[in-house]
């Protein structure tokens, strides 16, 4: 019997090899984290203690939450230099709402988060509608936020001493009996939410699509400008939450603190395997990246390595992390 | 023949400085494969971009399924059932097959908050079943071969219930078996009543797959023929036309002079296949072929810009080790890229800086730049190449295309390059200035420089070259002496000669 063969058969040999190299990279960051933990545990008996581990997680939380938002931006092949100072601005705004204006804590919390969202909206509009490169648009936002934080606060810290429940946002223990500060829990909950948004919602889909091939996405009829703005607003919300956690931890809004955090957040994202070229990245990778940075700093401190040298080591780690990514991309081509 | 599906009438479109389309007609029936043919720059792509809403037309009308339509954007075209598969595939490599196909139309669940990945994959699977394509919806597109990516594009186009499918050079990157599969697919679509516009340079494919052929040249409509009734020669002569080439042929003097460059068995991946040729002193050697024939790749391999897999380069009788452009420059090779703005000049710098940038070392005096010497050298070049600029301090971006090209030539002359590779030397240059560049090339050859000239314009190849090498798909398919026996047709025949 003669059947018209309309089967389309095309071989695809390279697929398996590449898949392996991708999985390897996912594994690599996690493995380095484990190796570091083992190394520092052996090097110092003080490292693998409950209090120290909690301390590491606590110090990861603010940078980590910032890095979650930055992950979205970087996957679109954008960059956000403003998250550090916008975070400061949000904590100052929260301070104004709660301490200066005497509004309820919940209003301050929402106001802080909204401040972050508005900053993201402005950056997003500048990038999508005015065609300003992300680097410049967010550099401008960085300076605007820094200046505003100083102006609004009168360049002096705002304390939350009148609202003792505010500091509990970060330092309280919502799970009774378990001595894990809320800041750490917020970080993990935000990470899960970020993971869901990135992998299960339309925002996440277009985050990858924009970074992977913006033109193809546009030609498919997707309103790329709208989605870009939404993604910057989303990152702004994460920044706002980081600002709250920061303020609650310090029990004050410190208008001079925050600049430089954006670079640490970007470093965490990059160490976690997200490519600055866009299209690739995971939330888990970012969480691991943020942890690698704080484990490294904490471990070196426990081993009495001077702070200046800690920074040098972190710099070297960033170089290596990105170099493995470069090597991987080269092989894939 | 099926009923009329599309009629484009009197379409015109101008871009700044270029009339890309003037008064072009085109027709397509249901269940027809209609080839759209023409040399590079003939206006095929522009016409298709008008049809799919990427460009807006200046004038003319589009009749589709009996109604006049307006296509302001790509979304509209998709919704009307007009889809295009671009030559550069338009897919997001980091998304999966199913995610790419339904981008912008993702199924959602739970109050539209979440993506319904299962429904998405099921839809893709159903689509593949109806189309009889073997693809896994969950594979990442970046991990697929080009042929499979093309299937994804076709599936995506058809998922819009397309009545018209435009394929731009669909076979350019495919192997023969993959082409067979593609043609099987096209025949199936044709029997389902889809109208297919097929853009290709490959003559032998036309006979295999198309019903009619429409030829365009220089942005105008030349004619439409039934494929079965026309000969390949007929179609080629429609493509090249017969005008322009009444110019003088070059005087061929240097054919038997010494060899300055010998290239032996050059190979690089799929793009350069066993290329060997010689270049003589004072010769202009033309490289003809269609886009993607591998001519630029050969130039880049000789220049050390791309790694070659194998092959020998011999300069003045001695094997040359060229591993980077720096090596090539030291061996006296200069390369003038086809993309002048990206690789040739620094637009924001002035004429003298551009001319002397490659020889900065020569102008250092006690570690700082010796400006009088730079000025002298630049002025001399501006004079001898007749660069039209108010002064050597003018920014290069303010010069015309032709004069920018001369600045690039000046740069290489300051390096005493004896072998000059010109890649599309007159692209983007207006007609009057072209003559200037031609005269300059002739003068350089007369001075004993050896020139490789890559050009997609056949009249230019015939006017300038002493000898012509024709390439097709990475191979040299012919070497012709520029005498009475050569013609645009004979070059075009070689340029489309695929080796099965």
Q: What is the pLDDT of residues A184-237, one digit of tens each?
A: 999 999 999 999 999 999 999 999 999 999 988 888 878 899 999 999 999 999
Rounded distance between C-alpha atoms, residue A156 and residue A106, angstroms: 23
Domain range enclosing B474: 259-495
Alpha-carbon span B62 to B24, nearest angstrom: 11
Q: What CATH number was assigned to the domain covering residues A46-332? A: 1.10.3470
Residue B409 contacts residue B385 (beta carbons within 8 Å): yes
Separation CA B10–CA B25 (nearest Å): 6
Q: Does the beta-carbon distance from A201 to B114 stay under 8 Å? A: yes
Question: How many inter-chain contacts (A to B, CB under 8 Å) are there?
Answer: 94
Q: Per the domain annotation, does B250 fall within a domain?
A: no
C-alpha B321: how far from chain center = 30
- Interchain proximity A220–B114, CB inside 8 Å: no
Say how far apart CA A326 and CA A324 lie, in whole Å: 5
Task: Return the closest-CA partner of residue B458 out of B433, B435, B492.
Answer: B492
Same domain, B325 and B419: yes
A11 touching chain B per CB within 8 A: yes
User: Within a 10 A sphere around the Cβ of B50, how many other Cβ atoms?
Assistant: 25
Beta bridge partners of B450: B419
How high is the pLDDT of residue B388?
Answer: 84
For chain A, report the end-to-end CA distance as a whole number of angstroms: 44
Considering just the CA atoms, what is the radius of gyration of chain A in Å? 22
DSSP helix/strand/coil, B304? coil
CA gap B272, A252 in Å, rounded: 66
Pairwise CA distance, residues B106 & B117, whole Å: 8
Amino acid A273: pLDDT: 86
Q: Which residues 74-93 on chain B approach chain A with CB closer than 8 angstroms? A: 74-75, 78, 90-93
Per-residue model confidence (pLDDT) at position A7: 41
A280 touches chain B (CB under 8 A): yes
Can you tell me the distance from the alpha carbon of A7 to that of B7, in angstroms, rounded to the nearest whole number? 33
Cβ of residue A208 closer than 8 Å to a chain B Cβ: yes
CB B33 within 8 A of CB B2: no
Burial of A129 (0-12, 13-18, 19+ CB in 10 A): exposed
Per-residue confidence (pLDDT) for residue B499, from 0 to 100:
62
> In what helix (H) or strand (E) does residue B369 lie, and over which residues does it extend?
strand B368-369
Percent of chain A whose pLDDT exceeds 90: 62
Residue B108 three-state SS: strand
Q: CB-CB: which of B54, B73, B145 is closest to A10?
A: B145
What's the number of domains chain B is made of? 2
- The residues, any chain, with a CB within 8 Å of residue A266's CB and separated by 6 or more, are A67, A70, A74, A79
Q: Which of B209, B211, B233, B213 is nearest to B223 (CA)?
A: B213
**Res A17: pLDDT:** 43
Lowest mean per-residue pLDDT among A45-59, A119-133, B18-32, B428-442: B428-442
Give CA–CA dist B362/B377, Å, rounded.
11
Same domain, B427 and B314: yes
Residues of chain B with pLDDT under 50: 243-246, 500
Same domain, B207 and B265: no
How far is the alpha carbon of B165 from chain A, nearest alpha carbon, in Å? 15
Which pLDDT does position A13 carry in this prediction?
A: 42
**CA dist A208 → A179, A221, A282, A285 (Å):** 38, 16, 10, 15
Give yes or no for residue A56 having a pLDDT over 90.
yes
Token pair for B443: 């003068």
Extract the tokens encoding A323: 């170099």
Look at residue B371 and tell me if it is in a domain.
yes
Residues B366 and B459 in one domain: yes
Q: Residue B94 in contact with residue B142, Cβ under 8 Å?
A: yes
Q: How far apart are CA B405 and CA B340, in angstroms?
A: 7
Which helix (H) or strand (E) segment holds residue B286: the answer is strand B284-288
Chain A residues lying within 8 Å of B307, measured CB to CB: none
Q: Give the pLDDT confidence score for residue B17 in this predicted structure.
A: 62
Confidence of residue A92 (pLDDT cuts 50, 70, 90): very high
**Residue A24 phi, psi (nearest 5):** -60, -45
CATH of residue B227's domain is 3.40.50.300
Cβ–Cβ below 8 Å for B114 and A200:
yes
Among A201, A213, A215, beta carbon nearest to B115: A201
DSSP B342: I
Counted residue by residue, chain A has a size of 333
Assess contact for A149 and A257: CB atoms under 8 A: no
Query: How big is the CA angle at A289 (ends A287 and A292), to the nearest 5 degrees?
Result: 110
Q: In what order do the strands lie in the sheet with B333-336?
A: B333-336, B419-423, B450-454, B284-288, B467-472, B475-481
- In B, residues 98-117, which contact A (CB 8 Å cutoff)? 99, 103-104, 106, 108, 113-115, 117
Q: Tens of pLDDT along B330-340?
A: 899 999 887 77
Verify whether the Cβ–Cβ distance B78 to A221 is below 8 Å.
Answer: yes
| Cβ A70 vs Cβ A80: under 8 Å | yes
Question: What is the DSSP-derived secondary structure letter of residue B359?
Answer: G
**Residue from B356, B361, B301, B363 nearest B333 by CA:** B301
| Confidence check: pLDDT of A23 > 60 | no
In chain A, the percentage of residues whose pLDDT exceeds 70 is 90
Helix (H, G, I), strand (E, B) or coil at B71: coil
Rounded average pLDDT over A233-252 = 96
**In chain A, positions 133-172, which contact chain B (CB-CB < 8 Å)?**
none
CB atoms within 10 A of CB B243: 9
Residue B270 sits in the same domain as residue B225: no
Q: pLDDT value at position B40?
A: 66
In this predicted model, what pLDDT tens digit does every residue of B300-348 receive, in sequence order?
A: 999 998 888 999 999 999 999 998 888 898 899 999 887 777 777 888 8
- Give the per-residue pLDDT at A9: 41
Q: Which of B211, B240, B269 is the last residue of a domain?
A: B240
Residue pair A107/A84 in contact (Cβ under 8 Å)? The answer is no
Where do the domains of chain A lie? 46-332
How far is residue A33's CA from residue A219's CA, in Å, rounded to a whole number?
Answer: 41
Whether the pTM exceeds 0.90: the reply is no
Residues 6+ apart with CB under 8 A from A102: A162
- Which residue matches tokens 């797959």? B209
Cα–Cα distance, A261 to A81 (Å, whole number) = 9
Q: What is the CA radius of gyration of chain B?
A: 26
B63 and B145 Cβ atoms separated by less than 8 Å? no
Q: Residue B248 domain-assigned?
A: no
Q: Measured between CB atoms, does A222 come within 8 Å of chain B?
A: yes
- Same domain for B221 and B318, yes or no, is no
Residue of B302, B377, B311 whose CA lies nearest to B333: B302
Q: List, for residues B184-243, the tens digit of each pLDDT value.
A: 889 988 998 999 999 987 777 888 899 999 999 888 999 999 998 888 778 888 887 654
Please report, for residues A276, B3, B39, B167, B461, the alpha-carbon distance to residue B226 in angstroms, rounded to integers and kept in the order given.
Answer: 52, 16, 19, 19, 31
Contacts of B92 in chain A (CB under 8 A): 208-209, 212-213, 216-217, 279
d(CA B372, CA B47): 53
Using the beta-carbon criterion (under 8 Å), do A208 and B139 form an inter-chain contact? no
Q: Which long-range contacts (CB under 8 A, 24 or more apart) does B376-383 make?
A: B377/B414, B378/B351, B378/B352, B378/B410, B381/B355, B381/B410, B381/B413, B381/B414, B382/B351, B382/B355, B382/B410
CA distance A85 to B426: 51
**C-alpha A68: how far from chain center:** 3
Cβ <8 Å between B91 and A213: yes
């Amino acid at each position: 019997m003669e059947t018209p063969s309309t089967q389309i058969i095309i071989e695809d040999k390279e697929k398996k090899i590449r898949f392996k190299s991708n999985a390897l990279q996912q594994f690599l960051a996690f493995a380095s984290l484990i190796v570091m933990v083992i190394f520092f545990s052996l090097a110092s008996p003080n490292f693998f203690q409950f209090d120290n581990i909690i301390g590491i997680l606590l110090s990861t939380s603010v940078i980590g939450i910032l890095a979650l938002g930055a992950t979205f931006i970087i996957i679109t092949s954008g960059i956000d230099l403003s998250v550090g100072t916008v975070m400061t601005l949000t904590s100052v705004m929260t301070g104004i709402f709660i301490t200066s204006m005497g509004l309820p804590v919940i209003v301050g919390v929402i106001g802080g988060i909204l401040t972050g969202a508005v900053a993201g909206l402005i950056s997003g509009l500048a990038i999508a509608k005015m065609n300003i490169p992300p680097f410049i648009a967010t550099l401008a936002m960085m300076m605007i936020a820094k200046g505003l934080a100083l102006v609004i606060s009168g360049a002096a810290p705002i304390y939350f001493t009148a609202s003792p429940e505010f500091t509990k946002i970060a330092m309280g223990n919502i799970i009774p009996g378990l001595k894990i500060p809320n800041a750490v829990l917020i970080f993990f909950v935000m990470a899960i939410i970020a993971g869901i948004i990135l992998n299960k919602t339309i925002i996440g889909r277009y985050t990858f699509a924009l970074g992977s091939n913006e033109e193809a996405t546009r030609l498919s009829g997707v309103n790329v400008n709208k989605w870009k703005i939404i993604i910057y607003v989303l990152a702004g919300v994460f920044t706002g939450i980081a600002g709250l956690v920061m303020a609650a931890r310090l029990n004050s809004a410190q208008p001079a603190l925050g600049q430089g955090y954006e670079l640490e957040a970007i470093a965490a994202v990059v160490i976690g395997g997200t490519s600055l070229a866009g299209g690739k990245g995971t939330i888990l990778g970012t969480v691991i990246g943020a942890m690698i940075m704080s484990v490294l700093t904490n471990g070196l401190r426990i081993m009495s390595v001077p702070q200046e040298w800690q920074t040098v080591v972190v710099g070297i780690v960033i170089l290596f992390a990105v170099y493995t990514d470069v090597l991987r991309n080269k092989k894939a081509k | 023949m099926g009923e009329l599906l599309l009629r484009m009438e009197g379409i015109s479109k101008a871009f700044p400085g270029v009339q890309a389309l003037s008064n072009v007609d085109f027709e397509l029936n249901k269940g027809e494969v209609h080839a759209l043919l023409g040399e590079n720059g003939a206006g095929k792509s522009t016409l298709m971009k008008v049809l799919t809403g990427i460009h807006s037309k200046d004038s003319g009308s589009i009749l589709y399924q009996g109604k006049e339509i307006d296509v302001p954007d790509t979304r509209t075209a998709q919704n009307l059932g007009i889809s295009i598969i671009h030559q550069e595939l338009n897919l997001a490599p980091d998304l999966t097959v199913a995610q790419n196909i339904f981008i912008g139309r993702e199924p959602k669940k739970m109050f539209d908050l979440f993506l319904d990945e299962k429904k998405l994959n099921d839809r893709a699977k159903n689509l593949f079943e109806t189309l009889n394509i073997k693809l896994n919806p969950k594979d990442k597109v970046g991990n697929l071969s080009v042929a499979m990516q093309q299937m994804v594009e076709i599936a995506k186009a058809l998922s819009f219930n397309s009545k018209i499918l435009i394929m731009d050079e669909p076979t350019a990157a495919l192997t023969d078996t993959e082409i067979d599969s593609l043609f099987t697919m096209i025949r199936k679509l044709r029997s389902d009543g889809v109208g297919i516009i097929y853009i290709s340079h490959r003559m032998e494919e036309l006979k295999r797959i198309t019903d009619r052929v429409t030829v365009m040249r220089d942005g105008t409509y030349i004619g439409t023929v039934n494929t079965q009734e026309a000969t390949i020669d007929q179609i080629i002569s429609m493509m090249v036309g017969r005008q322009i080439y009444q110019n003088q042929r070059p005087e061929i003097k240097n054919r038997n002079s010494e060899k300055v460059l010998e290239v032996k068995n050059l190979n690089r991946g799929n793009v350069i296949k066993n290329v060997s040729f010689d270049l003589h002193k004072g010769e202009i050697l033309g490289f003809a072929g269609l886009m993607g024939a591998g001519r630029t790749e050969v130039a880049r391999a000789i220049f050390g810009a791309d790694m070659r897999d194998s092959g020998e380069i011999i300069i003045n009788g001695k094997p040359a080790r060229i591993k980077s452009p720096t090596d090539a420059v030291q061996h006296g090779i200069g390369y003038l890229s086809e993309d002048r703005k990206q690789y040739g000049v620094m637009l924001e710098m002035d004429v003298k800086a551009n001319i002397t940038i490659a020889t900065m070392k020569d102008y250092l005096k006690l570690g700082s730049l010796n400006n009088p010497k730079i000025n002298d050298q630049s002025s001399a070049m501006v004079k001898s190449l007749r660069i039209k600029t108010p002064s050597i301090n003018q920014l290069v971006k303010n010069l015309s295309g032709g004069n920018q090209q001369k600045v690039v030539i000046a740069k290489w002359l300051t390096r005493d390059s004896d072998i000059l590779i010109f890649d599309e030397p007159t692209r983007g240059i207006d007609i009057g200035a072209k003559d200037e560049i031609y005269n300059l090339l002739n003068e350089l050859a007369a001075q004993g420089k050896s020139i490789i000239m890559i050009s997609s314009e056949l009249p230019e190849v015939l006017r300038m070259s002493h000898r012509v090498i024709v390439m097709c798909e990475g191979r040299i398919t012919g070497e012709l002496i520029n005498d009475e026996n050569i013609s645009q047709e004979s070059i075009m025949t070689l340029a489309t000669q695929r080796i099965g």
